[in-house]
Amino acid sequence: MKNTIVLDSFALVSFFHKESGWEKIRQILYELSSFEQKALLSVLNWGEVYYICKRRVGKRKAEESLGLLSQLPVKIISVDDDLVKEAAEIKSDYPVSYADAFCIATAQRSNGQILTNDPEFKSVQHLVQVLWLT
């Protein structure tokens, strides 16, 4: 794949729960693996995947989701002070969640495109490329 893919928690939750668009995620992850590339996921969005899964299906299944995630071609991106400031700037200017602001800042930093179906990202399509699941 040519472009860096940045995952939003929405995409991974859709994948784990086989919700709308999950086949597209599976295909992209397969292609990334074939090219020995990895999608990026902010550690804040990693935490978001965990808490959403825990709320939906309980702690044991949420832990299983994290185990599965560790086997996928996904690199967890830690946050540094500059990324926190970049995300805070985005959050202050656009109607997105704080976790989504980290996803956006990660995509800007990596010149990547965000894989999601979260409608919040419509307000930032001029800042980053968004690859919609459906």
Under 8 Å between Cβ of 133 and 115: yes
Per-residue pLDDT of the chain (134 residues; tens, 9 = 90+): 678 999 999 999 999 999 999 999 999 999 999 999 999 999 999 999 999 999 999 999 999 999 999 999 999 999 999 999 999 999 999 999 999 999 999 999 999 999 999 999 999 999 999 999 98
For residue 11, with 0-12 CB atoms within 10 Å meaning exposed, 13-18 middle and 19 or more buried, which class applies? buried
Q: What is the mean pLDDT of the chain?
A: 96
Superfamily of domain 5-132 in CATH is: 5'-nuclease (3.40.50.1010)
- The pLDDT assigned to 3 comes to 86
Give the Cα separation of 66 and 54 in Å (integer).
11
φ, ψ (nearest 5 deg) of residue 97:
-70, 165
Give the pLDDT confidence score for residue 1 in this predicted structure.
60
8-state DSSP, 133: -
